[in-house]
Amino acid sequence: MGYRPADAIQDLQYFGEYGGVNPSISDSSTYTFLSAKTMFDTFEGNTEGCYLYSRHSSPSNLYLGEALAALEGTETANVTASGMGAITAVILQLCSTGDHLISSRTIYGGTYAFLKNFLCRFGIEVSFVDITNPKAVQEAVQSNTRMIYCESVSNPLLEVADLPTLSKIADEAGVPLVVDNTFSPLSISPAKLGARIVIHSLTKFINGSSDAVAGVVCADKEFCLALKDVNDGAGMLLGSTLDSIRAASILKNMRTLHLRMAKHSYNAHYLAERFEADGLRVVYPGLSSHPGHEAFTKQMRAEYGYGGMLTLDAGSLDKANALMEMMQGENLGYLAVSLGFYKTLFSAPGTSTSSEIPEDEQREMGLSDGLIRFSIGLDQNIERTYHKMKECMEKLGILTPVNAMR
């Protein structure tokens, strides 16, 4: 893959007032105009470099948007107040009453709930498909289909979408492929593989410090402007605007994303290999046992690895809960939802982030009761972490101690 996103981010240069090395933070909700005529033109959305009102755009939000467009290799990007703010705006921009969309059935619980329980209010129909089966996706296309939606690496089952194949199906249907790339920033560049719109929850790896909630839509100028249209733009009218001060702090954190992703991936890969060798049921796209391993390898930028997420089956919900509590007690990580933090975070997705999905559907998609989702942290000494985690598992009978087996 020729595109070098970390270089593109590194090459951005925005100075602050007085030559500050960081851009100044725009601390205003509204902007003055020298003439009434320019104000009118800005309202119409045709004056570059002029700001009207910060729900529309602000300098700080534009700086962050440009860094995210550089990350994904798209023309531009709109930042939003959350990942869900980005997802809902895109869907409602593309779909109206009587329309239909195709979505992967294994997606973030909030997105699933929105598609399943909310869109019906507007008469928008959704087909949930197995995204790893291109034939099923193709067969779900209808004359009123408006978009195909998936996550490049899905939450929480880590299914890998074959983006070139899906974008071909979307192209043939004349609809955009919309990809949530929250789990694999830098590793996978969906826009370079044919996706027309790329979404992130910045709350996760991109910000990486678990202190902010934010999102982004990366796309071409036409779509991003349409989202901001004062008359009918879903971004503008639904109002999920990111605060400028947060945009500035996220931009600063983003500059170390390449270092963090490589380390998250290294650590997750290390643990996945060891635990698999110990006989545990581990799901990690970097393992050749993973059904999406080849698809990931084909699409990835190798230096950032297979990502920081893995799942492990503790056998039962009780064992999973006991293990998480014990690991937290040993300070190996926190029992918490979300991902991309410097500490390892773990949760049982069936009872937390995917609880929106009914139990029988969870079973059908392979979400077992004992499943623990890990977002592996930036531990400097991952070997030490491995041994400590293993001790916890042995104490709880999830792993049989080697000595006892002899």
Ligand X SMILES: *Cc1c(COP(=O)(O)O)cnc(C)c1O
Q: Which residues of 76-96 are buried (b: 16+ CB within 10 A; e: fewer)?
A: bbbbbbbbbbbbbbbbbbbbe
Work out which of 127, 145, 203, 240 binds ligand X, going by CB under 6 A: 203
- Gap between the terminal Cα atoms of the chain: 49
Work out which of 159, 162, 180, 276 binds ligand X, going by CB under 6 A: 180
* Beta-carbon contacts of residue 282 (< 8 Å; ≥ 6 apart): 272, 275, 276, 310, 311, 312
118-147: contacts with ligand X (CB under 6 A): none
Work out which of 201, 210, 354, 375 binds ligand X, going by CB under 6 A: 201
Tell me how many residues contact ligand X (CB under 6 A). Answer: 16
Minimum distance, C-beta of residue 382 to ligand X, in the bound complex (Å): 23
278-337: contacts with ligand X (CB under 6 A): none
Q: Is 8 left (phi over 0), alpha (psi -120 to 50) or beta?
A: alpha
Work out which of 65, 194, 215, 349 binds ligand X, going by CB under 6 A: 215
CA distance 182 to 62: 20
- Residue 100 or 204: the one with the smaller Cβ distance to ligand X is 204
CA distance 392 to 397: 9
- Residue 108 or 334: the one with the smaller Cβ distance to ligand X is 108
Minimum distance, C-beta of residue 123 to ligand X, in the bound complex (Å): 24
Question: Which residues are registered as beta bridge partners of 310?
Answer: 374
Minimum distance, C-beta of residue 113 to ligand X, in the bound complex (Å): 11
Minimum distance, C-beta of residue 214 to ligand X, in the bound complex (Å): 6
Work out which of 9, 25, 69, 84 binds ligand X, going by CB under 6 A: 84
Q: Which residue is nearest to ligand X (CB)?
A: 83
Binding of ligand X at residue 155 (CB under 6 A)? yes
Six-digit token pair at 340?
A: 């991309």
Minimum distance, C-beta of residue 81 to ligand X, in the bound complex (Å): 8
Stretch that binds ligand X, among 20-28, 51-59, 178-186, 384-392 (CB under 6 A): 178-186
- Residue 42 or 132: the one with the smaller Cβ distance to ligand X is 132
* Coil vs helix vs strand at 263: helix
Work out which of 61, 93, 152, 182 binds ligand X, going by CB under 6 A: 182
Helix (H) / strand (E) containing 80: strand 76-80
- Residue 81 or 398: the one with the smaller Cβ distance to ligand X is 81
- Residue 201 or 265: the one with the smaller Cβ distance to ligand X is 201
Q: Cα-flanking dihedrals φ and ψ of residue 219, to 5°?
A: -165, -170
- Closest Cα to residue 383, out of 269, 261, 259, 260? 269
Q: What pairing do the DSSP bridges indicate for beta strands 334-335 and 345-347? A: parallel
Q: Do residues 151 and 183 touch, judged by C-beta distance below 8 A? A: yes
CA distance 103 to 93: 16
Binding of ligand X at residue 204 (CB under 6 A)? yes
Binding of ligand X at residue 110 (CB under 6 A)? yes
Work out which of 67, 94, 104, 108 binds ligand X, going by CB under 6 A: 108
* Beta-carbon contacts of residue 34 (< 8 Å; ≥ 6 apart): none
In this structure, the number of other CB atoms found within 10 A of the CB of residue 403 comes to 7
Stretch that binds ligand X, among 30-38, 78-86, 243-251, 255-263 (CB under 6 A): 78-86
Minimum distance, C-beta of residue 201 to ligand X, in the bound complex (Å): 3
- Residue 23 or 307: the one with the smaller Cβ distance to ligand X is 307
Minimum distance, C-beta of residue 173 to ligand X, in the bound complex (Å): 24
* Coil vs helix vs strand at 79: strand
Minimum distance, C-beta of residue 149 to ligand X, in the bound complex (Å): 11
Work out which of 66, 72, 151, 276 binds ligand X, going by CB under 6 A: 151
CA distance 216 to 211: 17
Q: Which residues of 279-302 are buried (b: 16+ CB within 10 A; e: fewer)?
A: ebebbbbbbeebebbebbeebbbe
- Residue 339 or 398: the one with the smaller Cβ distance to ligand X is 339
Stretch that binds ligand X, among 166-174, 200-208, 319-327, 366-374 (CB under 6 A): 200-208
327-386: contacts with ligand X (CB under 6 A): none
Residues that bind ligand X in the complex, under the rule CB under 6 A:
82-84, 108, 110-111, 151, 155, 180, 182-183, 201, 203-204, 213, 215
